[in-house]
Amino acid sequence: MTDSTDKSRDTMSYLPRENLFAWLDGLKSDFRVYVPCRKGQSRFYRLYTSPAEDIVIGEARTTEPLKGFFTHAREKVAEGFSPELPGEQDKPFAIVGVKACDLTGFLVQDQVFLNQGCKDPFYGRAREENLIVSADCTLALETCFCLALGHTPYPEAHFDINLSQVEGGFIAEAGSPRGRRILEKYRSLFQQASATSLVEKEKNRSRMVDEVQAGVEASRVPHCDRYEGMVERNYESRLWEEEARGCVECGACNMICPTCHCFLLMDQKAGDEVSRFRQWDSCMLRNFGRVAGDGNPRPRLWMRLRNRFEKKFDFFPKVAGLYACTGCGRCISACPAKIDIRKVLARLVGSE
């Protein structure tokens, strides 16, 4: 046994499967706990109340993105001229079973809402107060292509606690001081991780990498090391018009994306009271770019599709050093026109 293996055993714990619900029940005392549940072939977050057979900690990412817990689709951000933040929470929340692609989305969301010199108080509060319990993927969806973006199907950062499914239970790893405090608080439910279970965890992760890689190769999506300059080189290409022909301008690709973050502010009057609301917006919608005098810099649908790719694969790499895509594949599943981001990327790279 190597020294690194000994160190891993000292920093990781084992949660027997029979103790999982006891742990979730304990978390309920301090958090509103959300768990992923399977419905058909999809997975959705649900408020945890009691043990249930449809709760799935591993498997694949949920249909809805994690961002919905941190920036709501519609939320009140001001009441009149009061400096107080509207809305109160009885408890912070704990989200269990979060996958690596959603955690990667934090890189973009944090860049927008925390790292621009003006911290968003709602997003900042949510990031500071709430608990993230992530989990390794144990199956790959046909639309998964995280490896092409340089990411892995298992969390490596941005979690408080991560669960890796192994025989009979889970390997629990703390990723933050808050996570270590939680594991310490419930230490009676955990055991020391054995060398055998740690080896199994690594084998499971390698198997998942192979499964996702097989999907990446089957869909022929190029690796991100070939993306530099591809949008700029194809800025006047006809491929944007060709890809946008079936688009119905529903905005689903933006709403379901873990990194899309654009919003609209609006005021609403009720009697003598005026409140300001923030709601998600979509760059694929015509009114998104409309300015005073009814001008619009992107009046055509294909221009808006091009803008979406430019933002994710040109703008963010230049200003933040990262791609605003996690390879989760949600936009592929959500698009009624079957616009496949993997095929567009292949066309952009293949045009050289």
Q: How do the domains of the chain map onto residue ranges?
A: 3-65+88-219, 224-260+292-350
**Tens of pLDDT along 302-341?**
999 999 999 999 999 999 999 999 999 999 999 999 999 9
For the segment 187-238, what is each residue's pLDDT rounded down to a tens digit?
Answer: 999 999 999 999 999 999 999 999 999 999 999 999 999 999 999 999 999 9
> How far is it, in rounded angstroms, from Cα 117 to Cα 235?
31
Q: Is the pLDDT of residue 48 over 60?
A: yes
Q: Considering the chain, what is the average pLDDT of its residues?
A: 93
Cα dihedral: 36, 150, 103, 187 (round 10): 80
pLDDT value for 1: 32
Q: What is the pLDDT of residue 89?
A: 67
The reported pTM is 0.92
Confidence at 6, pLDDT banded by 50, 70, 90: very low
Q: 2: exposed, middle or buried (C-beta count within 10 Å: 0-12, 13-18, 19+)?
A: exposed
User: What residue has token string 């955690």?
Assistant: 103
pLDDT tens-digit series, residues 25-38: 999 999 999 999 99
Q: What is the pLDDT of residue 118?
A: 87
**Other residues' Cβ atoms within 10 Å of the Cβ of residue 323:** 21
Q: Which two tokens stand for residue 47?
A: 């408020």
- pLDDT surpassing 70 at residue 352: no
Decide if pLDDT at 2 tops 50: no
For position 59, what pLDDT does the model report? Answer: 96
**Res 19 pLDDT > 90:** yes
Q: What percent of the chain stands above pLDDT 90?
A: 87
Cβ atoms of residues 48 and 68 within 8 Å: no
Q: Take residue 60 and report the two structure tokens written for it.
A: 């694949």
- The whole-number pLDDT of residue 10 equals 52
Which range of 77-81, 115-119, 142-146 scores highest in mean pLDDT? It is 142-146
- pLDDT grade for 141, boundaries at 50, 70 and 90: very high
What pLDDT does residue 79 have?
87
**Neighbouring C-alpha atoms within 13 Å toward the C-beta of 280:** 20
Query: Alpha carbon of 214 to those of 42, 47, 148, 207: distances in Å?
Result: 21, 34, 11, 11
- Arithmetic mean of pLDDT, 1-5: 36
What confidence category does residue 351 fall into, taking pLDDT thresholds of 50, 70 and 90? low
pLDDT value at residue 83: 80
The contacts of residue 43 (CB under 8 Å, 6+ apart) are 36, 37, 56, 59, 60, 61, 62, 63
pLDDT at position 4 over 50:
no
Tens digits of per-residue pLDDT, 230-277?
Answer: 999 999 999 999 999 999 999 999 999 999 999 999 999 888 889 999
Q: Please give the pLDDT value at position 196.
A: 96
Taking alpha carbons only, the member of 278, 264, 250, 275 closest to residue 339 is 250
